[in-house]
């Protein structure tokens, strides 16, 4: 399977706390392997995502990274490609069809994104050219890249939900 790392760019501690948390939780649930927090340092977010992982399983981790440019350059040297989700970009639905191998860093901005980023990535992709939500864009992007296979992931956590027509069935205990 393709390896995906989600980089949240330009996080603002107070304004973005919940959106950034949703970005990382969606990344985890939808098959990304790691998250990188850039912008203002915000360890409670890292801890929240860690705590979800401890209970619900999987290996997804978030780390804080002060210098996004250095991080992206270093990943590129290691052979990763970089995609930036932006409403100004090209239609994601064509490109994601070709993203069936390799390692990708997906950059999800917050507020104004430095123009430098547009130039240093392999592609700038738009999930519609309308203003909406980076969480929505990321989720649709991952769903297309993984072709729905992410829905079958097993996380092996201590908490597991048994899908139910009309209720909450939760199994707790050792790792499932």
Buried b (16+ CB within 10 A) or exposed e, 68-92: beebbeebeeeebebbbbbbebeeb
Q: Tell the smallest beta-carbon distance from residue 19 to a copy of itself (Å).
A: 6
Please tell me whether residue 169 binds a copy of itself under the rule CB under 8 A: yes
Q: Where are the alpha helices (DSSP H) in the chain?
A: 17-29, 43-56, 68-77, 92-98, 115-120, 134-145
Distance CA 35, CA 24 (A): 6
Instruction: Select 162 or 174, whichever has its Cβ closest to a copy of itself.
Output: 162
Please tell me whether residue 85 binds a copy of itself under the rule CB under 8 A: no
Q: Tell the smallest beta-carbon distance from residue 10 to a copy of itself (Å).
A: 15
Tokens of 125: 């992709």
Q: Which residues of the shown chain bind a copy of itself in the complex (CB under 8 A)?
A: 15-16, 18-19, 22-23, 25-26, 28-30, 52, 56, 87-91, 93, 118-119, 123-124, 126-133, 135-140, 143, 148, 150-151, 153, 155, 160-170
């Amino acid at each position: 399977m393709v390896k995906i790392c989600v980089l949240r760019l330009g996080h603002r501690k107070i304004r973005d706390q919940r959106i950034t948390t949703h970005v990382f939780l969606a990344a985890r649930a939808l098959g990304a392997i790691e998250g990188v927090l850039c912008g203002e340092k915000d360890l409670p977010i890292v801890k929240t995502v860690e705590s979800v992982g401890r209970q619900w399983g999987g290996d997804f981790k978030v780390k804080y990274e002060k210098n996004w440019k250095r991080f992206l350059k270093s990943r590129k040297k290691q052979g990763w490609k970089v995609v930036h989700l932006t409403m100004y970009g090209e239609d994601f639905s064509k490109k994601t069809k070709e993203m069936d191998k390799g390692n990708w860093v997906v950059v999800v901005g917050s507020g104004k994104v430095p123009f430098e980023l547009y130039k240093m990535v392999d592609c700038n992709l738009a999930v519609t050219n309308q203003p909406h939500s980076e969480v929505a864009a990321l989720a649709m992007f991952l769903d297309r890249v993984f072709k729905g296979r992410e829905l079958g992931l097993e996380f092996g956590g201590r908490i597991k939900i048994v899908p139910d027509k009309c209720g909450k069935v939760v199994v707790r205990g050792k790792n499932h």
